[in-house]
Amino acid sequence: MTKTKKQLGQFFTEPVIAEFMAKLAITEKTQTLLDPAAGMGILIEKANDISQNIKIECFEIDKKMIGKYKKNIKFNTIINNEDYLYSENKLYDSIICNPPYNKFQEIKGKKDLIELFEKKYDIRLSGYTNYYIYFLIKSLNEMSKNGKCIYIIPYEFMNAKYGEIVKKYFIKSHKLEKIIKFNSQIKLFDDAVTTSCIICFNNKYNEYVDFINVDSLEDFDDICVNKYDNVGINRYLYSELNFKEKWLKYFKNQKKIYKNLICLKDYAKVKRGIATGNNNFFNLNLDMIKKFKLSKDVCIPCVTKAADIKKMIITKNYFDELLSKGKKMYVFDGRNKTTSGDNKYIEYGESLNVNKSYLNSHRFPWYGIEDKKPAPIWISVFSRNNLKIIRNELMIKNLTTFHGVYPLINDEESINIFYCYLLTPLAQKILRLNKRECGEGLDKFEPNDLNNAMILDLNIINQNDKNEILEIYETLKNKNLIEIEKLEFIFSKYV
Ligand SMILES: C[S@@+](CC[C@H](N)C(=O)[O-])C[C@H]1O[C@@H](n2cnc3c(N)ncnc32)[C@H](O)[C@@H]1O
């Protein structure tokens, strides 16, 4: 018995949507393209409009449909008249698909399919899973190194129970890049009313997923070049995604869309700290200074280890306290040597071959340290949970354990306000949109991650609020007590 149009899940993509999907899927690097469920070939036609140099392959199970395909598509493609789901796996640069939308009750040989997918793709799908998910899972395993995979599918899986395992699979892979959901007024198919979305994957390790609401066809061009000024977008870090949650809520505007943000580098420059080339030799505490009879001139006050710093503001008192606890709070700079003790220490370094390490042998003289100005604010390079942010009132130097933050406006008040802002959970959340994950919960920021991160434009804060922030700063300085909720409340008014 021949299968009906419905049994074959034959809903055809509107040309304008097909064109949009082709633009999302194809880059200058695309050499091969797959459509796993070709139908009459609209997606292939639009791909060919973009580039005629792509090797195109497709699958279509329905012989009759292949006849229509051949009437439409006059250029060279490879068409396989077989079931895509059981076909051999290959790699493609672009995969673009409007898969059949059969419900789970209509899937023949479902048990075998579930087993096959568990074996081949390491996912045990529930028996309630709709057909299109099988197509998608197979395609995700067929992306080449720089591959992209763009599917148009119903969005019910995001809220359905059977979708949990699918979302878990997406989260684990980090390959999901964005989901574009359409306003129900936009017609996606020739004769079907379905609630669909375009789901975009790439073969990279993505840090976040964009959930995008599209109200008008005019938004398409912007989205293709990742311009989101006119569309509703919610960006979720992978760590914020929960497969047990209903993802349709991620599209709603319950996530704060921040306003009044500027790039951090427009307000301050973040630079790496000083690298000594041999911390054992260069980092000094009082005992070492005494033992080697070093002059004051060669001992430069400097924080050498972020873990030593437990208070939030470096003052003279706190510096002395750390010194008295034996912490290494100086760095040796032999360029200022005056005494025989200083010279002997340099000779001692040479006897230990300190001058031979890569960094030191390329520095002249090897026993001098980099000329870097002290930074009024430091941000720790590594962090768990909250970023460690220190106000360096004493203006001592810092090694690479901290990055130095150099505000462009250099008056004390502005620096203290900026510092207070950086302490807030709000600021850290906004900064973290650029974070780099280094395994289990440990985040690493390179200076440029921070330079390119966003912050609130602090120029818009009114004088009353500024005064209040500065009072909070004084309390922090004098009592080591941070009124973080008060700060969060003040800054939140502006974003
Ligand atoms: C929703 S239509 C999409 C057609 C076309 N790509 C478009 O966008 O208009 C899905 C197509 O997949 C075909 N199809 C269904 N099951 C298939 C399978 N297991 N393998 C390959 N093609 C299949 C159907 O015959 C149908 O033409």
Encode the chain in three state secondary structure: CCCCCCCCCCCCECHHHHHHHHHHHCCCCCCEEEECCCCCCHHHHHHHHHCCCCEEEEECCCHHHHHHHHHHCCCCCEEECCCHHHCCCCCEEEEEECCCCCCHHHCCCHHHHHHHHHHHHCCCCCCCCCHHHHHHHHHHCCEEEEEEEEEEEEHHHHCCCCHHHHHHHHHHHCCEEEEEEECCCCCCECCCCCCEEEEEEECCCCCEEEEEEECCHHHHHHHHCCCCCCCEEEEEEHHHCCCCCCHHHHHCCCCCCCCCEEEHHHCEEEEECECCCCHHHHEECHHHHHHCCCCHHHEEEEECCHHHCCCCEECHHHHHHHHHCCCCCEEECHHHCCCHHHHHHHHHHHHCCHHHCHHHHCCCCCCCCCCCCCCCEEEECEEECCCCEEEECCCCEEECCEEEEEECCCCHHHHHHHHHHHHCHHHHHHHHHHCEECCCCEEECCHHHHHCCEEECHHHCCHHHHHHHHHHHHHHHHHCCCCHHHHHHHHHCCC
Whole-Å CA distances, 51 to 33, 44, 98, 420: 11, 11, 20, 52
- Least confident residue range of 58-67, 185-194, 409-418: 185-194
Q: How far is the CA of 205 from the centre of ligand 1 (A)?
A: 30
Interval 168-179: pLDDT, tens: 999 999 999 999
Q: List the single range of 111-120, 269-278, 481-490 with lowest mean pLDDT.
A: 481-490
With the most atoms of ligand 1 within 8 angstroms of its CB, the residue from 62, 94, 191 to mutate is 62
Check whether 279 has a pLDDT greater than 50. Answer: yes
Identify the band that residue 440 occupies on the pLDDT scale cut at 50, 70 and 90.
Answer: very low
| CATH class in words for 15-257 | alpha beta
Hey, which of 40, 60, 77 would you mutate to test ligand 1's pocket, going by the most ligand atoms within 8 Å of its Cβ?
60
Q: Which ligand 1 atom minimizes the distance to the CA of 86?
A: 19
- 11 CA to centre of ligand 1 in angstroms: 8
Q: Is the CB of 66 under 6 A from ligand 1?
A: no
The domains of the chain are located at 15-257, 270-492
Least confident of 113-117, 320-324, 478-482: 478-482
Cα distance between residue 411 and residue 417, in whole Å:
10
Q: Is 278 in the pocket of ligand 1 (CB under 6 A)?
A: no
- Give the nearest ligand 1 atom to 152 CA: 8
Nearest protein CA to atom 17 of ligand 1, as residue? 61
pLDDT of residue 272: 97
Across the chain, which distance is largest between two alpha carbons, in Å? Answer: 101
How many CA atoms does the CB half-sphere of 131 hold within 13 Å?
Answer: 22
How far apart are the CA of 256 and the centre of ligand 1, in A?
39
In tens, the pLDDT along 236-256 reads 888 889 999 999 989 886 445
Distances (CA, A) of 390 to 314, 400, 463, 483: 7, 14, 24, 16
CA-proximal residue: ligand 1, atom 27 (nearest): 39
Give pLDDT tens digits for 141-183.
999 999 999 999 988 899 999 999 999 999 999 999 999 998 7
Distance 77 CA to ligand 1 centre (A): 16
For a mutational test of ligand 1's pocket, the pick from 4, 20, 61, 72, i.e. the residue with the most ligand atoms closer than 8 A to its C-beta, is 61
Q: Check whether 439 has a pLDDT greater than 50.
A: no
Q: What is the pLDDT of residue 443?
A: 66
Cα(10) to centroid of ligand 1, in Å? 6
| 94 alpha carbon – ligand 1 mean position (Å) | 17
How confident is the model over 43-90, as pLDDT tens digits?
Answer: 999 999 999 999 999 999 999 999 999 999 999 999 999 999 999 999
Residue 259, pLDDT score: 84
Which of 422, 386, 389, 424 minimizes the C-alpha distance to 403?
389
- 44: Cβ below 6 Å to ligand 1? no
Question: Which atom of ligand 1 has the smallest separation from the CA of 84?
Answer: 20
73 lines ligand 1 (CB under 6 A): no
Residue nearest to atom 4 of ligand 1 (CA): 39
According to the model, what pLDDT value does residue 190 have?
Answer: 61
Q: Does 11 contact ligand 1 (Cβ within 6 A)?
A: yes
State whether the beta carbon of 346 lies less than 6 angstroms from ligand 1. Answer: no
Q: What's the CA-to-centroid distance between 4 and ligand 1, angstroms?
A: 12
pTM for this prediction = 0.58
Pocket of ligand 1 contains residue 9 by CB under 6 Å: yes
